[in-house]
Amino acid sequence: MGDRPARDDSAFDASAAVKLVLELMAIPGRSKQEGQVVELIRARLLAAGVPPGCIETDTAHRRIPGGGEVGNLIVKLPGTRRGPRRLLMAHLDTVPICVGCEPKLEGDVIRSANPATGLGGDDRGGVAVVLTTALELLRQRRSHPPLTLFFCVQEEIGLYGARYVSTNKLGAPKYCFNWDGGDPHFVNVGATGDYAIEIEIEGLASHAGVHPEQGVNAISIASLAIADLMQNGWHGLIEKGRHRGTSNVGIIQAGEATNVVTPSLSLRAEARSHDPVFRKKIVEAYRKAFVKAAKSVKSSEGKTGRVTFNADLKYESFRLDPNEPVVSLAKSAVEQIGLTPELCIGNGGLDANWMTAHGFPTVTLGCGQNDIHTIREWLHVPSF
Over the stretch 340-371, which tens digit does the pLDDT of each residue have?
999 999 999 999 999 999 999 999 999 999 99
CA distance 372 to 384: 14
CATH superfamily, region 14-191+317-380: Zn peptidases (3.40.630.10)
Q: Counting runs of H as helices and runs of E as strands, what totals does the chain give?
A: 9, 18
Q: Answer for the pair 339, 184: CB distance below 8 angstroms, yes or no.
A: yes
Cα end-to-end distance, the chain, whole Å = 28
DSSP codes of every residue in 275-344? SHHHHHHHHHHHHHHHHHHHHH-B-TTS-B-EEEEEEEEEE--EE--TT-HHHHHHHHHHHHTT---EEE
Q: Which of 374, 380, 376, 360 is nearest to 89 (CA)?
A: 360
Q: What percent of the chain has pLDDT over 70?
A: 97
User: Which runs of consecutive H residues, i.e. helices, occur in 5-145?
Assistant: 14-25, 35-47, 60-63, 121-140
Which pLDDT does position 12 carry in this prediction? 87
Question: 3.40.630.30, 3.30.70.360, 3.30.420.10, 3.20.20.80: which CATH number matches 193-315?
Answer: 3.30.70.360
- Residue 182 CA neighbour count, 13 Å, CB half: 9
Residue 327 pLDDT exceeds 60: yes
CA distance 131 to 111: 21
CA distance 208 to 291: 24
Q: Answer for the pair 193, 245: CB distance below 8 angstroms, yes or no.
A: no
Q: Answer for the pair 148, 58: CB distance below 8 angstroms, yes or no.
A: no
Confidence grade of residue 4 (pLDDT, cut at 50, 70, 90): very low
CA dihedral in degrees (151, 152, 156, 160; nearest 10)? -170
Write phi, then psi, for 171 (nearest 5 degrees).
Answer: 85, 20
Confidence grade of residue 8 (pLDDT, cut at 50, 70, 90): very low
- Residue 147 CA neighbour count, 13 Å, CB half: 24
Domain ranges of the chain: 14-191+317-380, 193-315
Q: Is the bond into 312 cis (omega within 30 degrees of 0)?
A: no
CA distance 279 to 309: 16
CA distance 126 to 162: 15
Write phi, then psi, for 289 (nearest 5 degrees).
Answer: -65, -40
Q: What angle do CA 347, 348, 354 make, to 5 degrees?
A: 115
| pTM, entire model | 0.88
Q: Is 203 exposed, middle or buried (CB count within 10 Å of its CB: 0-12, 13-18, 19+)?
A: buried
Average pLDDT for 312-321: 96
For 107-159, write each residue's pLDDT tens digit: 999 999 999 999 999 999 999 999 999 999 999 999 999 999 999 999 999 99
**Residue 269 identity:** A
H or E element, residue 353: helix 351-357
Write phi, then psi, for 347 (nearest 5 degrees).
Answer: -100, 10
For 164-208, write each residue's pLDDT tens digit: 999 999 999 999 999 998 899 999 999 999 999 999 999 999 999
Cα-Cα-Cα-Cα dihedral sign, residues 306, 312, 314, 316 = positive
Which pLDDT does position 221 carry in this prediction? 99
Average pLDDT for 74-78: 98
Which pLDDT does position 2 carry in this prediction? 45
- Kindly report the length of the chain: 384
Equal fold, 14-191+317-380 vs 193-315: no
Cα 16 to its chain centre, rounded Å, is: 27
Q: Which of 208, 82, 204 is nearest to 145 (CA)?
A: 82
